[in-house]
Amino acid sequence: MAVTQTVTLVKSGATFADVAEAIETFNTDNASAALTSAISVLNTAVSEGTLTVSAELNASANGVVITRVWDDAAYTSAGGASASRPAISSSWTRTIA
């Protein structure tokens, strides 16, 4: 059975033209070794076919909603619900469901 994870990233006061701009801004504002490592884990799972990812701007265009569908084993291997989350700037909020 697959595990669906929804991640919402919102930047206070921002308006983004598209998903790519929102994600690029998030990555720039929150650059760290921990974020680079987390992105590497995600990219590896995508390339292995154990994770699919889709994203869209939220209704206010000030953030992005990312939907991840994990293979059970890959989700567990990546740390599951207790996985370490990189710290983010105070101008951003992150919710994970």
End-to-end alpha-carbon separation of the chain, Å?
Answer: 17
Q: What is the DSSP-derived secondary structure letter of residue 11?
A: E
Domain that holds residue 70: 3-96
Q: pTM of the prediction?
A: 0.93
pLDDT at 81: 85
Digit-coded pLDDT (tens) for 6-57: 999 999 999 999 999 999 999 999 999 999 999 999 999 999 999 999 999 9
pLDDT at 50: 97
DSSP helix/strand/coil, 32: coil
From residue 10, alpha-carbon distances to 42, 70, 76 in Å are 20, 23, 26
Tally of structural domains, the chain: 1
Res 80 pLDDT > 90? no
| Measured CA angle at 41 (ends 82, 15), to 5 deg | 85
